[in-house]
Chains A and B, each alone.
Chain A
């Protein structure tokens, strides 16, 4: 009973659809908070998407990633297709990794997620620079590192509803 991962013997309840979708909408909302060009502000949608692709690979996949990407493109006033391309690749990689990644403790999971987030950012930079935009500077990539730091608390937060037992039973073994 150390970590709420696959290696622990804790049995999680199935995730609720409304919680899953509302967490992604909340992530979009967080991304819309106008902080201007503050470096190191993580891409919450990418992080949430990676989380659910790892946890629920059958429910959240590339289709959701594509739609979220389009919404982010419009909300951020960037080129349409930029976020969706990056998110689709992120969702694919996270889905493929999901069988493996859950056997690791949370800090190592974050190390698995970091390159995925960095790749997503690199894809965005490459697509936009092909389109003639300027390089946003190395500090742009700081956001992924900050996001990887959030993996640990985010796991507890997003799995919280699944920890609750259906009915309180003091005699239950788990």
Chain B
């Protein structure tokens, strides 16, 4: 400010110095990063911006969808017939089990009633389609075509015809974001079918999974199948998750390094089933007041 009260002519006005602006915006960005990554306080911003950007995203997705439909249309009759007959054969092959399933379930219910055990919860599902993989290269997430409008809520489990794919982690009005089980931050409580050994399965980031914190002499073999244990109160018990591919028992580490590969087509696209919400488990006796948020337990790392 000059003493005589002269303003510089508007021709020379350029606002604050670039370095000052750089420092201001960088600090603002870092503040937002901390608020989002550490405290998860910016979900409302996402909801707002997503609502505005949704039509744009649909428009961007349209050419890819058109391409997919086009290739479907021109798929030859021979391939379709082959696929059809294959599916029919598969259906007949599983019919035996499917027909007896209802009977077995009833029997199971009666037996459980006899033994005075808690009834197994039956859960419905909604079919949804994976639209595309999220653009963020640092995580493994996919976007579903159903959202809060179709009663999808965060925490629901996504399966395909073979096993667990992931879990809904964020919902928008028309879309839902699913974190795949191969994501580094995603943990699935599992047990080994053969001996019932419980553990937690983590994504290793390269499309495979890792069974951590099992002692080096634990009874784990290559080829073992892992299913969800259901102890977390979110996943239903008994859904197939992964098979053990490689067990490395190095005496220098306290834990065995166990690599697994997913059973379901985690990295493939197509139709998936969103399982309905499971009833919350009764709270454990000593931390009853903390257990009203079942999602929290999943978020805790390591």
Q: Which residues of A contact B (CB under 8 A)?
A: 28-37, 58, 61-63, 65-66, 69-71, 74-82, 84-85, 88-89, 92, 95-96, 125, 127-129, 131-136, 140
Contact = CB atoms under 8 A, between A and B. Distances in A.
Given A75-B57, A75-B135, A134-B205, A62 B22 contact: yes
Interface in B116-138: 131-138
Contacts of A77: 134-136, 139, 141, 143, 170, 177
A4 B18 CA distance: 28
A120 B57 CA distance: 24
B14 to A, nearest CB: 7
Interface residues of B, number: 46
Contacts of B45: 70, 74, 80
B77 interface: no
Q: Enumerate the 5 nearest inter-chain pairs by beta-carbon distance, A residue then B residue, closest first.
A: A34-B132, A81-B33, A81-B32, A134-B205, A85-B29
10 contacts: A62-B21, A66-B29, A70-B45, A70-B49, A74-B49, A77-B136, A79-B36, A80-B46, A95-B18, A135-B205
A31 B59 contact: no
Given A70-B49, A89-B22, A29 B59 contact: yes
Contacts of B26: 85, 88-89
Interface of B: 14, 18, 21-22, 25-26, 28-37, 42, 45-46, 49-50, 53, 56-57, 59-61, 63-64, 131-139, 141, 143, 170, 177, 184-185, 205, 301
Contacts of A78: 135-136, 138-139
Given A36-B133, A74-B45, A133 B53 contact: no
B253 to A, nearest CB: 21
A32 B135 contact: yes
Nearest to A66: B25
B42 A34 contact: no
